Amino acid sequence: MIRKKQFYPLQCLVLCLVWLSGGAVSEAYAQNDWTLAKDKDGVKVYTRKLENSDLKASKAVVFIHSDIKKVFDMLTDADHHNQWMDRVKASRLLKKISDNEFYVYYEAEAPWPVNNRDVVARFRIEKAEDGKVKIVSVGEPTYLPPKDGVVRVPDTQSVWELIQVDENLVEVTFISHVDPGGSVPEWISNLTVTDNPLNTLKNLKLLLEKK
């Protein structure tokens, strides 16, 4: 199991997966005006401002020496996301609707004095004829009753894109936008936009390249 860092709680809550026809992430996905914010450990993280939101979207990119099936299998194994997603203390599959659609629950640790956050999200998977895979998510905050002492994240959206670059190299792109809800210090919100996706993709790369 990858040892996770002691900070940055919220952005990884959005690793849940459903193809969006609109919303913040689809807006971000269609744009090219990203600014490089971090480049570390083989992961590049970009940010951009979205209309109608004070919170930035992030785009993280990493190249992993693996094949697309192994990456896909790890991304869709929701019960074990807490082994590599930064600051996620619990993850579990709630309901499988089909091979391409399911619901997932996450709880993420937050530094004191911020309460932990949780997310319920609906996943859907789309595979293109050229082999490209998109795993996209949207939050479903009313799917489960709220949990005492934990703040339900009101809005999460994300897209994972997997491309087999060559026989043993996969390009992984993770675009996300999250409203953590409740009262969160600005410095935490700003850090989660870059540090959570960076740590998550770094952990994913380490695990897959060990296999």
101-138 pLDDT, tens digit per residue, is 999 999 999 877 888 999 999 999 999 999 999 999 99
Q: Specify the DSSP element, H or E, that contains 101.
A: strand 101-108
How far CA 196 is from CA of 51, 60, 148, 203, in Å, comes to 22, 10, 25, 11
Give CA–CA dist 41/199, Å, rounded.
Answer: 9
The arithmetic mean of pLDDT across residues 144-158, rounded, is 92
Q: 10 Å Cβ neighbour count for 148?
A: 5
- For the stretch 180-210, pLDDT in tens is 777 766 666 667 889 999 999 999 999 999 8
Report whether the peptide linkage leading into residue 113 is cis, meaning its omega lies within 30 degrees of zero.
Answer: yes
pTM: 0.83
Q: How far apart are CA 28 and CA 158, in angstroms?
A: 10
User: Over the stretch 16-27, which tens digit does the pLDDT of each residue have?
Assistant: 332 333 354 554
